[in-house]
Amino acid sequence: MEERPFGDLQPGMAGDSPTIQPGSTVRDSDGSEVGTVVSVQPDAITVKRRRLLGGTLQIPRARIKEAEEGIVQLDVPAGQIGRR
């Protein structure tokens, strides 16, 4: 099976690669929940933050370490991702 970097995933991609869908839970590199995917663009995902901070984050696909059904795992702590 060909290995593909998760940063190259496309919305709705078929086959053996997972897809990133609105409603997926996003976790940072420490495993803490960051929020929920609200939209998927070719080069980034928009995440609605949880907790007290609220708001949205624009997360580049290059920061996505792994994605499986319903879960997106980032390769950095949430504090290192800029606010939108």
- Structure confidence at residue 59 as a pLDDT band (50, 70, 90): very high
The CATH number of whichever domain residue 49 belongs to comes to 2.30.30.240
Q: What is the pLDDT of residues 18-48, one digit of tens each?
A: 589 999 999 999 999 999 999 999 999 999 9
pLDDT given for residue 17 in this prediction: 43
Q: Can you list the pairs that 27-36 forms with residues at least 24 positions away whose Cβ atoms lie under 8 Å?
A: 27/71, 27/72, 27/73, 27/74, 28/74, 28/76, 28/77, 28/78, 28/81, 29/65, 29/73, 29/74, 29/75, 29/76, 29/77, 30/77, 32/77, 32/78, 34/74, 34/78, 34/81
Q: How many domains does the chain contain in total?
A: 1
Flag whether 9 is in a domain.
no
Flag whether 13 is in a domain.
no
Strand partners for 32: none
